[in-house]
Structure 1
C-alpha cells in the first residue's frame, strides 16, 4: 500500500488520465464503453488505451468485456481506500483540516426539516427526460421537494411527444420550459440538495462541482428523441422513458431520508439509477 498510493497519485497527476478518472466517477456505477470515453474526451482510441491501462495498473479502475466492447468503471473500494489513507495519514484523522465540509458534515445526509429539498435534473437538451423528471417528482411530492430541470445545451422548445405524454398523465405543462444549467449556478441560485443527470452525454460533460453538500447521481436513460419510426413507435419510446423515470421517482420519495447517513443515501440514489424496468 505504501508504494501503491504514490503510484496512484502520480497516475492521477497527468491531466488526461485524471480527466478519464473524473468522467468515470461522474458515471459511477455505470461501466462506460471505451468508444464513448474516447468520444467524450476527444481522445484517439490508442491514446485512451494507454491512459486506461495506467489507471488499471494502479487499481483505480476495472475493465470488463461485453461482446466486442471494452467497458470501464471506477473501482470505488480502491478509490475509497486511497482517500482514506490520505485523510488518516496526511491529516492524522483531523477532518477540520482535510474535510471539504465543516464539522465533519461529509458523513451527514441532508437534514429532514420543514424546509423542502432542492432537486435538479440535468440533461443535454432539457426537452424530454429531465422535463419528465421535473414534472413527475414535483407532482408526486410537492410538499417535500422544490424540483428543477436544466440542460447543458438546452433546446428552445420542449419536445412535442414529451408534452403529449405529460398531458396524458395529468401533469400541468404550462409551468415547464427549457432552462440552462447556468440558472442554477452562481450568486442567487438555490442551494441544491440533490443533482441527477438523466442522460449519458450530460454526465460526460465537464461541469463545475456543486457547492455545499449536494448529493449527485447518474440516472442515465436512452434518449427517446432519437428513436426513428412511426408516430406510434416514437410515442411508445417516450411512454417507456416516462415510466422508467416514474419508477425511480417512486423509489426516491420512498427513501427513509431521516434514518440514512450521507454515505447510505448516496448508495441508495446510485442504486436507483440502475433500475432497468421501463414501466
Structure 2
C-alpha cells in the first residue's frame, strides 16, 4: 500500500480527474456510461478517456463493457483501503484524532425515535418523478415521515400527465408544486434524515452538503417527461415510473429504521435502488 498510495493521491491531485472521481462516488454503486460522464462534466471524449485510464491505472475505478458501451464505477474496496492507509499513517489509528472523519451514527442506531424522519426526493425538474416519490411515501407511511421534494432546475409546473396519474391513484394533489432546493432546505430548516435522487442528471450534479449527514441514495428512474409518441404511450411511461418508485418506496417504508445502524441502513437503501449490485462488505 505504501508504494501505491502516492500514485493514487497524485492521480486525484488533478482537478478534473478528481471531478470524475467525485461524480462516480456520488453515483456509486451505479456503473455510468462514458458518454454520460463526458456530458455531465463538459469533457471531450478523448480527454475523459485519458482521465479514466489514469483512475483505472491507480485502481480507483473499474470498467465494464455492456454491448458497445463502456461503463465505469468506483472500486470501493480500493478507495476504502486508501482512506484507511491515510488514517493509519497520519493518525496512527487514534480515534481522538480521526473521529471527525467518522459519523457518530456509524456506531449505533440513528438516535431519532421520538420524531418523524425527514425525507427529501430530488430530480431535475420536480415535475414528475420526485413528485411521485413524495406522494407515494406520504401515502404509504405519513405517520412516520415528513416528506419533501425539490428540483435542481424545477419546471414552472408539475407535468399534467403526472397530476392526472396521481389523482387517478387517489393521491391528494392540491398542495403539490415544483420547488427549488432552497425552498425546502433553508438555513433555519431542520436537517433531513434521508436524501434521495431519483434521476441520473440530478445525481450527477453538485448538490449541497446537507446538514446532519443524512443517509443518501440514488434511485434513478427514466424521465417520463421525455417520452414521445401518442398520449397513450406517454401515459404508459408515467405509469412505469410511478410503478418503479412505488416498489422502492414500499421497500423503504418497510425497513426497521429505528433498529438499524447507519452502515446497515445505507446498504439497505443502496439495495433498494440497485438490487443486483454487489456492495463490498
2:63 is matched with 63
2:244 is matched with 244
2:24 is matched with 24
Counterpart CA distance in 2 for 1:167 and 1:275 is 30
Q: What aligned pairs does 1:79-98 form with structure 2 within 5 A after superposition?
A: 79-98=79-98
Question: After alignment, is 83-92 or 35-44 more displaced?
Answer: 83-92
1:101-132 CA distance string (max 9 Å, x none): 68743444533412011100000000000000
TM-score under structure 1 length normalisation: 0.94
Q: What aligned pairs does 1:18-167 form with structure 2 within 5 A after superposition?
A: 18-100=18-100, 104-167=104-167
Measure how far apart 1:10 and its partner are. 1.3
Q: 1:61 to 1:103 in 2, by over 3 A?
A: closer
Question: After alignment, is 185-194 or 6-15 more displaced?
Answer: 185-194
1:274 is matched with 274
Mapped contact 1:96–1:104 kept (Cα < 8 A): no
Mapped contact 1:95–1:104 kept (Cα < 8 A): no
Mapped contact 2:109–2:259 kept (Cα < 8 A): no
Name segments (4+ residues, structure 1) moved above 6 Å: none
* Residues 1:201 and 2:201 aligned together: yes
Measure how far apart 1:7 and its partner are. 1.3
Mapped contact 1:183–1:189 kept (Cα < 8 A): no
Measure how far apart 1:17 and its partner are. 0.7
TM-score under structure 2 length normalisation: 0.94
1:116-161 CA distance string (max 9 Å, x none): 1110000000000000000000111111110000000001100000
1:171-204 CA distance string (max 9 Å, x none): 0001111100122444112301100000000011
Measure how far apart 1:274 and its partner are. 1.8
Q: 1:16 to 1:99 in 2, by over 3 A?
A: farther
Q: Runs of 5+ in structure 1 lacking a partner?
A: none
Mapped contact 1:26–1:217 kept (Cα < 8 A): no
Question: After alignment, is 92-101 or 164-173 more displaced?
Answer: 92-101
1:261 is matched with 261
Mapped contact 2:119–2:194 kept (Cα < 8 A): yes
Number of residue equivalences: 276
Q: What aligned pairs does 1:206-225 form with structure 2 within 5 A after superposition?
A: 206-225=206-225
Counterpart CA distance in 1 for 2:247 and 2:122 is 18
Partner SS, residue 220 of structure 1: coil
